[in-house]
């Protein structure tokens, strides 16, 4: 057995308890038709006083929703701006 770092789940108390009813989902319409799939986000306040960012696929609004803490969302946005998720180009 190998030693591993402890896992810290800072959303355990939120999982399954985040009220998404009535939130306003935001999407970027830039360069795409309204009928196409979009990534949608919503900023959702929780009873713990933290505003979480929820993300879903517009084509599957009842499907899975990713939830980010403020620190996770900031890291994601910084990664996007830095090109971390850009597709590699074939040379």
Tokens representing 1 are 């057995």
Question: What does the alpha-carbon distance between residue 91 and residue 86 come to, in Å, rounded to a whole number?
Answer: 15
pLDDT confidence bin for 87, thresholds 50/70/90: confident
Question: What does the alpha-carbon distance between residue 68 and residue 27 come to, in Å, rounded to a whole number?
Answer: 17
So what's the pLDDT on residue 7? 78
Q: What is the dihedral of CA 66, 20, 18, 48, to 10 degrees?
A: 120
Question: What does the alpha-carbon distance between residue 9 and residue 11 come to, in Å, rounded to a whole number?
Answer: 5
Task: Quick: pLDDT tens for 14-44.
Answer: 878 889 999 999 997 665 566 678 899 999 9
Map tokens 């989902």 to a residue: 25
């Amino acid at each position: 057995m190998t030693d591993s770092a402890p896992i810290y789940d800072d959303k355990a108390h939120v999982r399954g308890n985040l009220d998404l009813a009535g939130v306003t989902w935001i999407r970027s319409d830039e360069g795409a038709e309204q009928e196409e799939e979009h990534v949608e986000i919503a900023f959702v306040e929780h009873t713990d006083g933290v505003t979480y960012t929820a993300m879903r696929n517009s084509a599957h609004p009842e499907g899975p929703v990713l939830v980010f803490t403020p620190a996770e969302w900031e890291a994601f946005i910084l990664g996007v701006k830095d090109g971390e998720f850009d597709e590699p180009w074939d040379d």
